Amino acid sequence: MNITVYIGANEGKNPIYREAAEELGCWIGRSGNSLVYGGSRSGLMGSLADSVLAAGGRVVGVEPRFFVDREWQHEDITELIVTEDMAGRRAKMIELGDAFIAFPGGTGTLEEISEVMSRVSLRQTEVPCILYSFNGYYDSLKSLLAHMIAEGFSTEKRQNGIKFAESLDEIKEILS
């Protein structure tokens, strides 16, 4: 399966995020799945890709041309797909994915997984959509989604396909 992971291009302040990204990457590589990600060599993105490669896995990066022009791409990945812009990047990553995981990251990570969450809610896709709430990272988002239901702007049925996992074991369970 192609597992699309949205993840920060920064390291974050706490090294536990890098360790968790490497653990996720090792599992993806060893499990025979492939990683689809943003294509960068920096931050958690680079750590994730490196760990998948070290575990013998396949890594497909998707980067917009202006990132490549700035030489942010990872040179050692299996395949790099270059898109014209960020919208093309998001579309290609969704097209390639059989499952989606949002690892802790910034606004770009949130933007990317939000599109998948919307497609799941609208029943445009039935692929796994997982927010990896490692270290409680997405707890506030989980509360916001519950608030949307409570205020009548969403329903449990619409959000049924949006899953939260606090550990790699929970991710494995959702994907099995």
Helices (H), the chain: 16-30, 43-54, 65-69, 86-96, 107-121, 139-150, 156-159, 168-175
Q: What is the pTM of this model?
A: 0.95
Q: Under DSSP, is residue 2 helix (H, G, I), strand (E, B) or coil?
A: strand
Stretch 162-173: mean pLDDT: 98
CATH assignment, 2-175? 3.40.50.450
What is residue 72's predicted lDDT score, i.e. its pLDDT?
74
Instruction: Give per-residue pLDDT as tens, 23-78.
Output: 999 999 999 999 999 998 899 999 999 999 999 999 999 999 988 777 777 788 99
Q: Where are the domains of the chain?
A: 2-175
Question: What are 85-143's pLDDT values in tens digits?
Answer: 999 999 999 999 999 999 999 999 999 999 999 999 999 999 999 999 999 999 999 99
Q: Which residues does 78 contact at the CB level (< 8 Å), separation at least 6?
A: 34, 53, 58, 59, 60
Are the CB atoms for 165 and 128 separated by under 8 Å? no
